[in-house]
């Protein structure tokens, strides 16, 4: 794996060479990317009291347009200053997405390959921090959780999947309706290569924008039976809304996750564990550059061996240095109602994010 | 120690100045803008709603599955974004970053700084759509009406924006 990091400069030079020769002529290849770096501190524990630098993401996104209707899109990620191989592995290098898309019409596009699951406002741009007001994703919807006593810690829904997806946009009576629906292997040992059970993960997202408005509401659905949760059926429903009034922005999401209860032998015992999460973010942009924001996160687990609910209040500022470079700082007040004691702590994060 | 009401008045004054500056920064002066497409593009009229969706990448084809290519000229970007998209330039740029990194099938607007070059590009590209000050348009391209109004009509949405107070 180490050869990947060594080869990075050469790959980049080749890409820039190809991009320079194709982008200006036929515009059939486009290269995008992003970079971010964080500095954070928290008073959670002794280790957390050190300032920590995190070179979090360096991603390259390739958009190959084979013709007017067919394109191939892929994204490579180097996370946490990845070094792999040699026994001292740190960070991650991985293919976030690689898919081919065919556009039959505006109403019907077919996507095949590996893609980020279309769920909620953020998941399809899961790591693209230059597009976030905050540095971090809302924990209530996008963090990893232990959904039931015998399950592993994992995201509420699969971050990505390999399979097929249908996408389309309709405009009935000036309303704008966009749908995405998909079928993937679901999570497991080698989820982008094989499915280790007979059940496919299915899901979809629908967003609706009424005429003459600057916002939308949306619904997401996800259902899988994966080995990561010992084949317990996991069903999620998500609700989202975004609205802009001038430079005032509001976004909110709510999610309900229901997972089949299993025993220590991983057999269904009847009943479900239902967890709930929600957040709301409000921001206002001044001078087209300075965006103060607040966000409130709430998560209630479906079972509780350690805590009964979690809330986070985030107050921060996003400064747009240019159209593509953003400086952010935020303080997060974490409150967790532990069964044995209250456990509250604060985190402070500063970051710089650039879109390439 | 200053009385509380004086401090409050000063704080309010600062707030008002900040809000006014934020508002005036969004207004600008420019000419009447004309929307243009190639002569062989079948479209002749476009709604403001449709224009908004096109320039935000929410709609990617004209009728007949013709792929849209967005072209921009930097002379009146702020005015166009404010009047049609009801957004600032920064908001529009960020919106396009969201489109791109979501993996959507989208091609961001191409900025062409030379108006003659922009005219030539639109004239020879069937799916292209762009905007320029009306006095810079020639017969090589087709003018679009917006919600049935021509640039010379009083109800035209992109009519001259001198003393324009439009804000997103």
Residue B105 is nearest to which of A101, A128, A131, comparing CB atoms? A101
Neighbours of A219 (CB within 10 A): 15
- Which residues in chain A have Cβ-Cβ distances shorter than 8 Å to B65? 103, 105-106
Residues A85/A1, Cβ–Cβ less than 8 Å: yes
Residue of chain B whose Cα is closest to the Cα of A211: B49
Burial class of residue B44, CB neighbours in 10 A (0-12, 13-18, 19+):
exposed
Q: Using 50, 70 and 90 to split pLDDT, how confident is the model at A12? A: low
Contact at CB, A125 and B87, closer than 8 angstroms: no
Tokens of A172: 């009935």
Contact at CB, A101 and B167, closer than 8 angstroms: no
Number of A/B CB contacts below 8 angstroms equals 93
pLDDT in tens, A108-165: 999 999 999 999 999 999 999 999 999 999 999 999 888 888 888 889 999 999 999 9
Tokens of B164: 């324009």
The answer on pLDDT for A85 being more than 80 is no
Contact at CB, B103 and A178, closer than 8 angstroms: no
pLDDT in the model for residue A330: 97
Residue of chain A whose Cα is closest to the Cα of B95: A131
Q: Using 50, 70 and 90 to split pLDDT, how confident is the model at B128? A: very high
Work out the minimum CA distance from B54 to partner chain A, whole angstroms.
12
Distance separating alpha carbons of residues A221 and A158, to the nearest angstrom: 12
Residue of chain B whose Cα is closest to the Cα of A124: B102
Burial class of residue B125, CB neighbours in 10 A (0-12, 13-18, 19+):
middle
Mean pLDDT calculated for residue range B68-85: 90
Give the pairing type, strands B45-46 and B141-146: parallel
Q: Using 50, 70 and 90 to split pLDDT, how confident is the model at A6? A: low
Mean pLDDT calculated for residue range A252-261: 94
Instruction: Provide the mean pLDDT of chain A.
Output: 88
Residue of chain A whose Cα is closest to the Cα of B92: A323
pLDDT in tens, B14-61: 655 555 545 444 444 557 899 999 999 999 999 999 999 999 999 999
Distance separating alpha carbons of residues B142 and A51, to the nearest angstrom: 60
Work out the minimum CA distance from A100 to partner chain B, whole angstroms.
11
Q: Identify the residue whose tokens are 């479900």.
A: A272
DSSP-derived letter for residue A192 is: T
If one compares B54 and B6, the residue with the highest pLDDT of the two is B54
Work out the minimum CA distance from B65 to partner chain A, whole angstroms.
6
If one compares A211 and B20, the residue with the highest pLDDT of the two is A211
The answer on pLDDT for A215 being more than 90 is yes
Neighbours of A224 (CB within 10 A): 27
If one compares A189 and A77, the residue with the highest pLDDT of the two is A77
Nearest Cα neighbor of A294 from A234, A252, A255, A344 is: A252
Mean pLDDT calculated for residue range A170-177: 93
Distance separating alpha carbons of residues B40 and A191, to the nearest angstrom: 48
Tokens of A190: 């080698």
pLDDT in tens, A295-345: 999 999 988 766 778 999 999 999 999 999 999 999 999 998 875 555 788
pTM as predicted = 0.86
Contact at CB, B93 and A34, closer than 8 angstroms: no
pLDDT in the model for residue A263: 85
- Which residues in chain A have Cβ-Cβ distances shorter than 8 Å to B25? 287-288
- Which residues in chain B have Cβ-Cβ distances shorter than 8 Å to A244? 86-87, 91
Residue of chain B whose Cα is closest to the Cα of A326: B94
Reduced 3-state DSSP string for chain B: CCCHHHHHHHHHHHHHHHHHHHHHCCCCCCCCEEEEEECCCCCCEECHHHHHHHHCCCCCEECCCEECEEEECHHHHHHHHHHHHCCCHHHHHHHHHHHHHCCCCCCCCEECCCHHHHHHHHHHCCCEEEEEEHHHCCCCEEEEEECCECCCCCCCCCCCCCCCCCCC
Burial class of residue B138, CB neighbours in 10 A (0-12, 13-18, 19+):
exposed
DSSP-derived letter for residue A124 is: G
Distance separating alpha carbons of residues B85 and B104, to the nearest angstrom: 20
DSSP-derived letter for residue A47 is: G
Mean pLDDT calculated for residue range A224-250: 91
Contact at CB, B90 and A171, closer than 8 angstroms: no
Q: What are phi and psi of B7, to 5 degrees?
A: -60, -40
Work out the minimum CA distance from A287 to partner chain B, whole angstroms.
5
Mapping DSSP to helix (H, G, I), strand (E, B) and coil, where does residue A14 land? Answer: helix
Q: Identify the residue whose tokens are 């002794």.
A: A46
Q: Using 50, 70 and 90 to split pLDDT, how confident is the model at A103? A: very high
Work out the minimum CA distance from A221 to partner chain B, whole angstroms.
18
- Which residues in chain A have Cβ-Cβ distances shorter than 8 Å to B60? 106
Report the percentage of chain A scoring pLDDT > 70. 90
């Amino acid at each position: 794996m180490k050869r990947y990091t060594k080869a990075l400069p050469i790959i980049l030079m080749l890409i820039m060479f190809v991009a320079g020769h194709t982008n200006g002529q036929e515009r059939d290849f486009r290269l995008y990317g992003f970079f971010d770096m964080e500095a954070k501190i928290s008073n959670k524990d002794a280790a957390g009291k050190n300032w920590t630098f995190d070179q979090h993401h360096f991603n390259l996104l390739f958009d190959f347009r084979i013709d007017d209707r067919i394109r191939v899109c892929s994204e490579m990620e180097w996370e946490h200053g990845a070094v792999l191989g040699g026994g001292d592995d740190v960070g991650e290098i991985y293919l976030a997405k690689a898919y081919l898309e065919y556009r039959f019409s505006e109403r019907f596009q077919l996507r095949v390959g590996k893609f980020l699951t279309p769920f909620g406002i953020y998941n399809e741009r899961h790591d693209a921090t230059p597009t976030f007001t905050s540095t971090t994703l809302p924990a209530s919807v996008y963090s990893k959780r232990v959904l039931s006593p015998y399950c592993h810690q994992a995201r509420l829904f699969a971050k990505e999947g390999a399979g097929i997806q249908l996408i389309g946009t309709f405009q009935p009576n000036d309303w704008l309706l966009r749908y995405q629906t998909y079928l993937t292997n679901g999570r497991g040992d080698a989820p982008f290569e094989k499915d280790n059970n007979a059940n496919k993960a299915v899901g979809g997202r629908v967003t609706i924008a009424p005429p003459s408005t600057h916002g939308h509401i949306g619904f997401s659905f996800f259902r899988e039976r994966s080995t990561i949760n010992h084949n317990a059926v996991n069903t999620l429903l998500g609700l989202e809304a975004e609205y802009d009034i001038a430079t005032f922005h509001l976004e909110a999401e709510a999610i309900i996750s229901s997972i089949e209860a299993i025993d220590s032998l991983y057999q269904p015992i009847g009943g479900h564990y239902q967890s709930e999460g929600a957040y709301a973010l409000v921001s206002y942009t001044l001078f087209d550059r300075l965006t103060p924001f607040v966000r409130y996160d709430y998560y209630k687990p479906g079972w509780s061996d350690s805590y009964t609910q979690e809330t986070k209040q985030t107050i921060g500022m996003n400064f747009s240095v240019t159209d593509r470079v953003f400086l952010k700082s935020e303080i997060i007040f974490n409150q967790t109602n532990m069964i044995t004691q209250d456990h509250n702590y604060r985190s402070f994060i500063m970051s710089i994010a650039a879109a390439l | 120690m200053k009385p509380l009401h004086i401090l409050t008045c000063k704080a309010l004054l600062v707030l008002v100045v900040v809000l006014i500056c934020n508002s005036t920064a969004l207004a600008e002066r420019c000419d009447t803008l004309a929307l243009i497409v190639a002569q062989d593009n079948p479209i002749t009229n476009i709604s403001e709603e449709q224009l908004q969706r096109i320039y935000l990448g929410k709609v990617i084809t004209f009728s007949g599955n013709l792929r849209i290519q967005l072209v921009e000229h930097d002379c009146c970007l702020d005015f166009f974004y404010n009047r049609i998209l009801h957004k600032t330039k920064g908001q529009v740029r960020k919106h396009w970053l969201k489109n791109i990194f979501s993996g959507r099938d989208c091609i961001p607007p191409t900025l062409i700084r030379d108006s003659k070059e922009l005219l030539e590009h639109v004239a020879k590209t069937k799916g292209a759509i762009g905007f320029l000050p009306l006095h810079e348009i020639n017969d090589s391209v087709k003018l679009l009406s917006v919600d049935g109004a021509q640039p010379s009509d009083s109800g035209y949405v992109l009519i001259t924006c001198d003393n324009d107070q439009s804000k997103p």
